[in-house]
């Protein structure tokens, strides 16, 4: 009887060990690729620019305050800055009229979507 109980305990310990090994391997294979990718390979890789969210670009911007174009998004303007897609499309949400806009790089409207609720990005 003593040998059977010892074998059962050993089997239970092996099952628990295998379970935790499988969990650790799953975590390893899910987390490591995310950490290895780092920031996107683009001029402005994330909101806030860098991992410290400095918002400071290494590029020299315009040297004069001359707007090339403007786009009216309605009352209350926007509650967050625009996002720029890989193809140059500019995405911006309007806080006042609950519309999400996509604009061409020249400032003309590509499309819009009425969300029925506030259309902005809120960073917590």
Identify which of 55, 56, 51 has the alpha carbon closest to the alpha carbon of residue 38: 51
Instruction: Summarize pLDDT for 5-36 with one digit per residue, the tens.
Output: 667 777 888 888 888 888 888 887 777 665 65
If pLDDT is split at 50, 70 and 90, which confidence band does 48 have?
confident
Q: Where exactly are the structural domains of the chain?
A: 1-38, 71-124
Give the three-state DSSP class for 25.
Answer: helix
Nearest of 79, 81, 91, 90 to residue 118 by alpha carbon: 79
Among 62, 72, 67, 79, CA closest to 117: 79
Contact between residue 82 and residue 93 where contact means Cβ atoms under 8 Å apart: no
């Amino acid at each position: 009887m003593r040998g059977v109980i010892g074998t059962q305990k050993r089997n239970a310990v092996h099952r628990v060990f295998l379970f935790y090994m499988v969990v650790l391997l799953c975590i390893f294979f899910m987390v490591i690729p995310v950490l290895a990718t780092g920031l996107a390979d683009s001029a402005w890789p994330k909101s806030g620019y860098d991992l410290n969210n400095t918002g400071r670009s290494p590029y020299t911007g315009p040297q004069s305050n001359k707007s090339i174009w403007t786009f009216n998004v309605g009352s209350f303007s926007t509650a967050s800055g625009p996002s720029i897609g890989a193809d140059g499309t500019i995405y911006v949400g309007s806080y006042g009229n609950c519309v999400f806009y996509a604009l061409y790089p020249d400032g003309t409207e590509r499309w819009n979507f009425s969300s029925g609720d506030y259309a902005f990005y809120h960073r917590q």
